Each structure stands twice: as C-alpha cells, then as structure tokens.
Structure 1
Amino acid sequence: MNTSSDTRRGIFFMLLASFLFALTMLFAKLLSASMSSVEVTFWRNAIGLIAISFTLFHSPIRNVGGRPFTLVFRGVIGTVALLTFFYTISATSLSNAIIYAKTEPIFTAILAFFLLKERLKTSALLAILIGFLGVVTLNGMEWNYLHIMGILTGFLSALAYTSVRSLKAYYDTRTVVLSFMISGVLIPLILMILGEFYTSPSLSFALSPFILPQGIDWVWIVLIGLSAAGGQIYMTRAYFYAKAGLVSSVSYSVVLFATIFGILLGDTLPTISIIIGAFMIVISGLMLSRSK
C-alpha cells in the first residue's frame, strides 16, 4: 500500500519525467531545422540504445519469453509512432504536437476493449466521446496531412502501449525497451538509405536522405538521447511509487512544459479552437485514467 510519502515521490518523478520528455521535444525541434524527422528518430534511439546497453553489465536480463512476434511488433509500431511524432514536431508548434500525441489514451481504451476484452465503463465511453470532439475542434473537419500524422501518432502509440501490456508477463522491461530502440535504429537507417533514391510528398515523414550533423547538432543529438532515456527512467519510477491513475493524470504536465518551451522557441500562441480542443482532449485523458 502506497504511503503519502511514496505518493509525493511518485508525483515528483512524473513531473520530472514530463519535463524531460518536453526537453526531448525541444531538442527534436531544434534538430528538425537541419535534418529530417527520420534522422531525428534514428539519433534519439541510437543514443538511448547505447545508454541502456550499459545497464546490462550491472543487471542481466531475465525473460520468460514466448511472445517474439508481439515483441517485434511493439518495436516496429513504436518506431513508426515516433516517426509521425517527430514529423508533427517539425511541422507544427510543440503545444500542438504534444496534444496530438495525448490522444493516445482515447485509442488505448478502444483497443483494450477490442483486443484485450477490457470492459468500458459509462464514464470511459463519455471520455472517449469528449476526446474525439476535442480532436475535431483542434482542426475542424479539415483532414490535412499534418492532422492525419498527428492523429496517427496517438493511434500508433496506443497500439504500441497495448502490446506492451500483453508483454509484461513474458519479458523484462529492458527487453521491451531494447526491441523498440533496435527497431528505432534499423528502420530509420533503412528509410534513409531508400530516401537517397526515392522521395514522395505523401511519405515525407518516412523517406529522407541522411544529412551529416554539423556543429551544435551533435550537442542536441546527445541531449535528445539523454533526456528521452531520463524521462523513461523517471516515468517508470513514478509508476512504482504512486497509483497508475494518479501518475497518468500528472503526466499531462508535459503539455504545459512543451507549450512553455515552444513559446521560448518562438511558437505562436494557440488559437481559441486549439485551446478548447486541447482542453477537451486533456479532460478526456484524465477521465480515462480515473476510470481504470
């Protein structure tokens, strides 16, 4: 049973994780000025892969195993979600990008109902409806490329998260993270090679040639990997100390941090429709976290 001290610690760790995830977005935005979202994805995972590999020497991985295809699926889907996420970061403001990503709980609830046979309470159904109304309010009924990529980020993230839930009884957490990071290095590498020979406007989030980083880019590359890894570590600790519903609610602080960083970078202030849509999506997520 969690004590009040543990709960406070869990909240603190989630706030710290949210701050680090917002920093990850900040560095991704800075890198997008000189390279594609595909390459940003590659470097983010390459640095993270190096960092997590060091932990294997201190504590070997122990797996039960038995779900190799699901493990690979999680890695691939997670990588594609990261590709679309970094694309939205490069194409819109940080506040818009994180709001699109925060549609994930809506899709997770729906996928858990269909794939994991989890029951949806009345409050969860209401939350899903509010969330989708928020999505429509964000950009009206204009389904342009950016809007589709943003919604796809939320859906793919939910698919990856749902697969993680089915893997936790079979694999060490680091195995799941490693499958994601290995995919996150190999897939962008293949896409950048293909991007040398073929590009397409409809696949701009996935096909781009490699550009050798210059000067300050190397600093952002190291920082994006470290901030992403740190965010994962502190998020895990937060869920260890506090209840999942509470931690999930606190995780929405990343919206505030990302908005502040975006304004510091020169992003324009959100419009009224974006603020209303964002508010509805956040409320939807909070309702879903409370209904678990």
Structure 2
Amino acid sequence: MQPSLLRLFDLPLSARYMLVSSLGFALMGACVKAAGASGLPVLEIVAVRALISLVLSFIDIRRKRIPMLGQNRPLLMLRGVFGTIALIAVFYSVTTLPIAQAILLQYIHPTFTAVLALFFLKERINLGTVLCIVLSFIGLSLVTAPQWSAHSTTDISWLAIAAALTGAFTSACAYVVVRKLAQTEDPSVIVIYFPMVAAPISAVLLIAQQSFVVPTLYQLTLLVAIGVLVQIAQIALTKAMSVENAGKVSAYGYIQVVFAALLGMMFFDEIPTGWTLAGGVFIIAGAFINSWKKSLKSR
C-alpha cells in the first residue's frame, strides 16, 4: 500500500467519519445539479428530498418510542420553516452556480450564527468570531468581485448569489433555534420537524407553479441518490461529532469544497476562477478560526 494511503488510514476515526460526511454532501450537491440540469424543478427536488427524510425520521421516532410532536411546538415549527427556506435557497444556488462556489458561500453561516446568537441567545462574540466575520466579508467580496464589474462576462446572476447567501442566513437561523430547542427536545424530534414542514410547503408551491415533471428512470435515480447521500452524510457527521470535539473535527469538513470543486470539474466542466479560490481561502480560514477558538474554549 502506498504511503499516502497509509497516512489516510492513520487518521483519527472522527476525521474519517468527517471525510465521508463531506464527500456525501458534495456528491449530493452534484446529484442536485445534475437533477436540475435534467429538467427537474428545484421544488420537486426539495419535495422528494424532504419526503425521504420524513420517512427515515419517522422510522427513527418510532424506534425510540417517543412523542413525535415535542413540547415547544411553535419553536419547532419555526425551525422547520427556516430549514425549508434554507433548503430551497441552497438547492437553487447549487443548480445555478458552480458547485464549489455555491457550497463555499454556505461557509459564511458562522458569521450569521454569531450575530443572531448575540441577540437571541445572549452569547458573547469572542476574538475568533470577530476574525471569522472580517475574513468572511473579505472572502465574500472576492467571490462576488466579477459581478461588480460593468464589463463582466460571467453569466452568474446576482439572484443565484443572493439565494446562496439566503441559504446561509436561514441555516444560521435554524442553528440558533436548534440550540434553544436542544434544552428541552429530543434530537430526533427536532430533526423530523424539518421534513414535516418542508414536504408540504414544497409540494404546495410545486403545484401552484404547475411545474411538476414526471421523473424518468435517470431522474428518479438522482432523486433517490440525493436522499440516500444526505442520510449517509448526516450519520457520518453525527458519528464524527460524537467521538471528538466539534470544533476540532469540523476542520476536516472544509474539504467538502475541494470535493465539490473536483466534481464540478469532472462532470460539469466548472473551473474555479482565481476570485473564487482567493475568496475561498478567506472564508474557510474565517470558519476554521471560529471553530478552533471554540475548541480551545471548551477544553
């Protein structure tokens, strides 16, 4: 066996789980992009993704034999609404932006989470968080720099970038709500409210748009793959977090952007621009510093 492969297998168990999770999420993004390119509406992709998650979450609830509706139902519903908006926005951005750029913009969510937590959870902002905010802002400016030019030749729209940022912001809102709910609710109850809200909302919007497409065998395969890959990625992420400090192991999660860039180049002829690469360094550095500071604080 080659030395490089030996070093890979020498990684801590938590790191290997995180790499599996990152690859799973990146592959899911590629399947979402392929499904969109094949003619499936984003809302249909969201609806099927939510339906698969709802079935799997319901099985988990039944296995645990716990009440499904939870205690703080208004807040649980709010978590579902934020998650639904985030899912629609993220899937739209993935189908319209290069995969690496869409996923990269999601890493701005720690900035939004920190600000929201300050106001709603009274959590203090430390130096690491301040650095994260500054670096994320610089990174965002670099990633979107070509759009500021009047002579830009790129066909990437501001709507797609706005969707990616909306996904990051509403994801942060969901994270803050989950932190609050974690004090009283079982994790499985928190999880199931996401598809419980997302499935009917996306289905109603899909019907209202009259954009439902009967999927071909290829499209159906992609839809099932999206649901399965998300489940694998979530399980691997949970296992990684359960055996190691979250701040420490999350550093391995940033390789998701690398996986996404490779998949984009291999299957969609997407070559990351210099602006995207430069912005990515700042955004990932900011997210890494934020999680590293939290890791040190928890020791």
Structure-2-length-normalised TM-score: 0.87
Q: 1:29 aligns with which of 30, 33, 36?
A: 33
Partners in 1 of 2:91 and 2:55 — Cα distance? 21
Partners in 2 of 1:218 and 1:150 — Cα distance? 25
Partners in 1 of 2:59 and 2:227 — Cα distance? 14
Which has the higher mean CA deviation after the structures are superposed, 37-46 or 260-269? 260-269
- Is the contact made by 1:62 and 1:171 (CA closer than 8 Å) also made in structure 2? no
1:125-154 deviation line (CA, Å, top 9, x unaligned): 122111111111111264821121111111
Distance 1:150 1:64, change over 3 A: closer
1:190-221 deviation line (CA, Å, top 9, x unaligned): 1112112xxxxxxxxxxxx2111112111111
Tell me by how many angstroms 1:59 deviates. Answer: 2.2
Corresponding residue number in structure 1 for 2:98: 93
Q: Is 2:127 the counterpart of 1:122?
A: yes
Q: 1:274 aligns with which of 276, 279, 283?
A: 276
Corresponding residue number in structure 1 for 2:217: 215
1:12-32 deviation line (CA, Å, top 9, x unaligned): 111111111111111111110
Corresponding residue number in structure 1 for 2:163: 149
Equivalent residue runs for 1:1-292 within 5 Å: 8-33=12-37, 34-61=39-66, 65-140=70-145, 142=148, 144-196=158-210, 209-292=211-294
Structure-1-length-normalised TM-score: 0.89
AA aligned to 2:63 is H
Structure 2 residues without counterparts, runs of 5 or longer: 1-10, 149-156, 295-299
Runs of 4+ in 1 over 6 A off after TM superposition: none
Aligned alpha-carbon RMSD (Å): 1.7
- Is the contact made by 1:63 and 1:170 (CA closer than 8 Å) also made in structure 2? no
AA aligned to 2:227 is G
Partners in 1 of 2:269 and 2:97 — Cα distance? 9
Partners in 2 of 1:121 and 1:269 — Cα distance? 36
Tell me by how many angstroms 1:270 deviates. Answer: 1.0
Structure 1 residues without counterparts, runs of 5 or longer: 1-6, 197-208
SS of 2:14 mapped into structure 1: helix
- Is the contact made by 2:264 and 2:271 (CA closer than 8 Å) also made in structure 1? no
Tell me by how many angstroms 1:176 deviates. Answer: 1.1
SS of 2:183 mapped into structure 1: coil
Q: How many residues align?
A: 274
SS of 1:229 mapped into structure 2: helix
- Paired-residue identity, %: 29
- Is the contact made by 1:61 and 1:174 (CA closer than 8 Å) also made in structure 2? no
SS of 1:216 mapped into structure 2: helix
1:28-69 deviation line (CA, Å, top 9, x unaligned): 111102211111111111112222322334322258944211
1:218-267 deviation line (CA, Å, top 9, x unaligned): 11111110110111111111111000101221111111111111111123
AA aligned to 1:171 is E
Which has the higher mean CA deviation after the structures are superposed, 224-233 or 44-53? 44-53
Partners in 1 of 2:68 and 2:215 — Cα distance? 37
